[in-house]
Structure 1
């Protein structure tokens, strides 16, 4: 029987224009993005999972000289990305089990992977590690307690889930990822809980 998480892709597919209209462009994420980019070489490659309409995060990464590959399961959102940033790669796909046949200097999943069930998040962590080059960095947002919640957006049910902080750490380390920085409820980013991790010790490959 379908659960509440199964409606996420349909929701964003039906309401891509509404999501784009509601998505803030004030780039309060910039301090974290700048920290992330310290570990990504100039002209390096970034995989943006759950890229949405490409605004404002993918745009900022592109403006900083990085090559972006964006993945989203909502056709309308990918269409907006292709229109806005035709020189980059935009792929219509589900992030779960994703295999693009190549690796990246950085992977970002900002306010996206927490729409997956806890079991899907557990399975996703090693998938993300496999998408990184040695020394590559992963940045994602999460909750911090083992929980599932149903929020609301424009009158629609919106599913979120989280593992515990301890379990995230355990599973990241098991996948070969070291935690470089982690903040619970960062006030500067609207209360986001953010993880910045590296494959290995975070030393960029030559």
Structure 2
């Protein structure tokens, strides 16, 4: 019996992804993530969930002078990440199973990930992020504001948005709060969150 695909279909289409989004540093999301990254202290540690090849999101963070750690469940994506950024720590693991390097982070990014996961896994991941952020740490993630389902364009698997109300509840239950939201150039809705201080 084969083990389940922890990459939500992205290992199967890794070559196509790497040849496209995995090479363009100016791809959708890079500008917004860089703006977010500049709100963190210089040299802050940031975890990029579902980092893929590291381009464009991890690269945008590194260009802000941040110390980046990556997690991705696709072996092919992780291999491409390691080849491109040999000194940057990266784990080949499903985000819900990763130990997040046994660290706490100043920031966590989940760009293009949350809605690929089952609803219960999304809730667990948000709680896990809250537990791995330092006091006052920041979390940014993309997900449509409305509750909806659709087919992922690359993998043809079902994506699920829990909707704004459910995401805000999950964020607050994880000891964080939503401090803003916006839409990137590709019309991806994203949430800006901070962990409560104390």
Q: How does 1:23-62 map to 2 (within 5 A)?
A: 23=21, 24-62=24-62
Alignment map for 1:97-176 (pairs within 5 Å): 97-99=97-99, 100-153=101-154, 156-176=155-175
Structure 1 residues 89 and 116 mapped into 2: Cα distance closer, same or farther (>3 Å)? same
Mapped contact 2:104–2:133 kept (Cα < 8 A)? yes
Structure 2, gaps ≥5 residues long: none
Question: Which structure's residues are more often strand, by fraction?
Answer: 1
> Counterpart in 2 of 1:15?
13
Match of 1:94 in 2: 94
Deviation of 1:75 (Å) = 0.2
CA RMSD for the aligned pairs?
A: 2.0
Q: What's the TM-score once normalised by structure 1's chain length? A: 0.85
Length-normalised TM-score, structure 2: 0.88
Q: Deviations over 1:46-87 (max 9, x none)?
A: 100000111111112112211111000000000011011111
Does the CA-based 8 Å contact 2:34-2:60 persist in structure 1? Answer: no
Q: Report the CA distance between 1:148 and its aligned residue.
A: 2.4
Structure having the larger proportion of residues in helix: 1
Name the CA distance, whole Å, in 1 between partners of 2:90 and 2:109: 14
Helix, strand or coil at the partner of 1:180: strand
Give 1:3's aligned residue: none
Listed as ranges, the gaps of 5+ residues in structure 1 are 1-5
Give the deviation of 1:98 after TM superposition.
Answer: 3.0
Q: How many positions carry a matched residue from both structures? A: 192
Using the alignment, how far apart are the partners of 1:10 and 1:140 within structure 2?
A: 17
